[in-house]
Structure 1
Amino acid sequence: MDTTSPAAFFTPFTSNSPYAPTSAELHQNQTTRNPNTQCNIDGASMRIPLAVFYTLFFLIGLAGNLLALWVFLRMQAKKTSVRVFLINVVLADLLLVICLPFRIVYHSSGNNWTLGPVMCRVVGHAFYMNMYISITLLGLISVDRYLKIHRSASRKRFMRGRWSYVACGVIWTMAIIITIALIGTTKKYEGEGKCFHYRKTCSAGLVFIKFSLVVLFWLVYALLVISYLKIGKMLQRVSKDKPDLPNAQKYKQTARKSFFVLFLFTVCFVPYHIVRVFYIVSQVSDTPCAWQDLADKANEAALLLSAFNSCLDPVMYFLLCSSIRRSTIGILRKLIRVPDAAVSSVSSSEMNRSMQKRPSLVAINAQSERMLIHVPAVGR
């Protein structure tokens, strides 16, 4: 029979007791009971992959967007609304790419920030500012293309105006004002030498801005999906209604290209904004450390895809727009000094023979390309 006194079960553990919990166990139990306890989330396991990928994105994005900007500025063409939007997209991508070396140095040096908290906030907020400027401009381009293909007289007069300049000015002004406000009001990052890392937040204003940006993205994404679907259906219908046209197959290819652009936009931005909701909730609620660590890793991986879009935009300009493709090839030939007299004469003769056989080919190509969101009517 057990003679142990019941009171012994209520006797506090002493340091000499074999049943006394260790300090690590006490800390683990405290963290389990209070998930809001500060967790040690340093992201050390991802710093090398992040440094490598951001380095590649910086090199490719800088070269591609500088070339795209040069082509846009050198092209002797009417400054249409789409061309104005695309130039601003290129500028936003360039500014985003310029922020990447700070992240590269930070991750490659063991997640150690030496430029002070103010510079950390400047680089961090500028990165997101340019990402959302690019997203918003792509949404406006889709609206512009959708309205123009309906060929309404009132809409055409509206689209001929300088509304693209006004829209871009409003977007940049609002983005800069919000970014400056965030830089001035955001609290210092916790811990010395830390930046771009997970941290808890209790600022209602900051949380509101984060959720507002998520809502903005989904609104823009809805516009893109609706515009692309309508443009694609219209191109498919034209190809079916007029199968005897010499360029009927071109309409089908153009429709496929439109869905390809939407696919790239989905891959780059949708994962980040799905993860973003979970990430923000983990910052403001009592979340266990394991879930905070998962949110941090998922957010960093999805952010890589968003940054990758700055490298894909110049590729889309080149693949989907014949005028940009011709200008880019011409510039590259001049840079590497490849003699193209023979090539030009052969291409010219072939083009003349093709035009004699199919005189409406250029007009049909131009009309089909203008229906694409990323195929502006520039350089024509």
Structure 2
Amino acid sequence: PESNYTAPRMQFVNGTDCPVSAEFQYIMFPVMYSLVFVLGLAGNVIALWHFISTKTATSPANVFMVNLAVIDLIFVLTLPFKIIYHALSNNWIFGELMCKITGSLFFANMYGSTLFLTGICLDRYVAVVHPIKSLQLRKPWYRVVISCMIWMILGVAIMYLTFKGPLTSKFENNNTACLENFSSKSWKGRISGVSIMAAVIGFFIPFVIIIICYPLIARKLMVPIPGSTSSTLVKRKALRTILVVLATFIVCFVPYHVNQLIHTLRRINIFSSCALIQFTYSTRRVTMALTSLNSCLDPLVYYFAAENFKWKPSCCKNVPPKNKMSSI
């Protein structure tokens, strides 16, 4: 009898003789990105509405969070293009310019998020471990200047990706690839250098800072101040904030960057195993999907870190509570 088995669509990694396949990506990406689009759009719109309606967008504690919400919102608005790309079995139909825009914004969101999350972490560290210094830095312009510097770094990176060379290419099946399927020459040239530099500046350094800040805040928290309830509450809030930031890093960014580093070393022939590139090719899809989750998890940071942040519409805040029987 004839078998109904359909062999997976194999392709060769550009510049190698290694066949790879990841059929699951054509379902995983559209489902994951659709979920992130809905949740990320709702969460970040609500957050920005809160900051604007309460006039706290320029509050020292909220400057980094406002920037984080903006960059997350920009990112989720690009996801419909990626959903269509992967639903069409990785066929980019929107042209080179849109590939550069969406691709650049993808990485701008990833590394912008890590840098703004690091700013939030450092802000809480100074408030808890160096409270006197924190009072001297209460003016928001310090954070505005740092935020502008981060946006400038992201802008330079986007311009480099946009003008340095094409980001689309052709697969063997004649589909148009966007931000993948680069040649070995490209990997040994600009791609590997950009990949490693972005990982060091945008991930490894921020991750080390957060890992250092967390135990210092925890140790400070373990030292009670007699009669200072408000100080203890501030410390606990800071600790919760950094826990959420650390969890976001571990879930969204650590798997991608570990896998990407191994994949980069293989593409520049530091390693030569075909099995390795087959593994990193598949896991890269999963870890890229995980990076997009930060747009959904960042609103949790706002909830724990922002001043008086409540997930409640302003129209409902003045509704009197129902009478309840109190038990004695």
TM (norm. structure 1) is 0.71
Amino acid at match of 2:208: A
Aligned counterparts of 1:320 and 1:141: Cα–Cα separation in 2: 8
Aligned counterparts of 2:242 and 2:144: Cα–Cα separation in 1: 28
Aligned counterparts of 1:308 and 1:269: Cα–Cα separation in 2: 10
Change in 2 beyond 3 A, CA 1:79/1:38: same
Aligned counterparts of 1:249 and 1:151: Cα–Cα separation in 2: 12
In structure 2, the residue corresponding to 1:190 is in which secondary structure? strand
Aligned counterparts of 2:144 and 2:306: Cα–Cα separation in 1: 22
Could you say which structure has the larger radius of gyration? 1
Match of 2:162 among 169, 172, 183: 183
Moved more, 53-62 or 192-201: 192-201
Change in 2 beyond 3 A, CA 1:287/1:189: farther
In structure 2, the residue corresponding to 1:112 is in which secondary structure? coil
Match of 1:123 among 83, 102, 112: 102
Q: Quick check: 1:47–1:108 contact (8 Å CA) kept in 2? A: yes
Which structure 2 residues correspond to residues 262-273 of structure 1 after superposition, within 5 A? 262-273=246-257
Instruction: Indicate the residue corresponding to 1:364 in structure 2.
Output: none
Match of 1:279 among 238, 263, 280: 263
Amino acid at match of 2:87: S
Verify: 1:207 aligned to 2:192, yes or no.
yes
Aligned counterparts of 1:230 and 1:320: Cα–Cα separation in 2: 18
Aligned counterparts of 1:320 and 1:169: Cα–Cα separation in 2: 21
Verify: 1:232 aligned to 2:218, yes or no.
yes
1:250 is displaced (CA, Å) by: 5.5
Aligned counterparts of 1:247 and 1:142: Cα–Cα separation in 2: 20
Q: Quick check: 2:99–2:178 contact (8 Å CA) kept in 1? A: yes
Change in 2 beyond 3 A, CA 1:229/1:59: same
Match of 1:151 among 127, 131, 134: 131
Amino acid at match of 1:151: P
Aligned counterparts of 2:198 and 2:316: Cα–Cα separation in 1: 42
1:292 is displaced (CA, Å) by: 2.3
Residues 133-164 of structure 1, C-alpha deviations (whole Å, 9 max, x = no match):
111111122222222331335x6334526121
Aligned counterparts of 2:184 and 2:168: Cα–Cα separation in 1: 10
1:128 is displaced (CA, Å) by: 0.5
Q: Quick check: 1:317–1:324 contact (8 Å CA) kept in 2? A: yes
Amino acid at match of 2:84: V
Change in 2 beyond 3 A, CA 1:145/1:253: closer
Instruction: Indicate the residue corresponding to 1:368 in structure 2.
Output: none
Instruction: Indicate the residue corresponding to 1:308 in structure 2.
Output: 293
1:38 is displaced (CA, Å) by: 5.2
Provide structure 2 residue ranges, at least 5 long, that are not aligned to the other structure: 1-11
Change in 2 beyond 3 A, CA 1:100/1:287: farther
Residues 210-254 of structure 1, C-alpha deviations (whole Å, 9 max, x = no match):
10111121110111122122112212222xx64x77679868964
How many pairs were matched up? 304
Aligned counterparts of 1:45 and 1:90: Cα–Cα separation in 2: 30
Moved more, 55-64 or 219-228: 219-228
Change in 2 beyond 3 A, CA 1:141/1:254: closer
Aligned counterparts of 1:159 and 1:255: Cα–Cα separation in 2: 16
Please tell me the root mean square deviation across aligned C-alpha atoms, in Å.
3.1
TM (norm. structure 2) is 0.81
Aligned counterparts of 1:128 and 1:214: Cα–Cα separation in 2: 11
Q: Quick check: 1:232–1:255 contact (8 Å CA) kept in 2? A: no
Which structure 2 residues correspond to residues 338-349 of structure 1 after superposition, within 5 A? 340-343=319-322
Verify: 1:223 aligned to 2:209, yes or no.
yes
Over the matched positions of the two proteins, sequence identity in percent amounts to 27
Verify: 1:95 aligned to 2:74, yes or no.
yes
1:119 is displaced (CA, Å) by: 2.0
Aligned counterparts of 2:277 and 2:315: Cα–Cα separation in 1: 48
Change in 2 beyond 3 A, CA 1:257/1:142: closer
Instruction: Indicate the residue corresponding to 2:36 in structure 1.
Output: 57
1:66 is displaced (CA, Å) by: 0.6
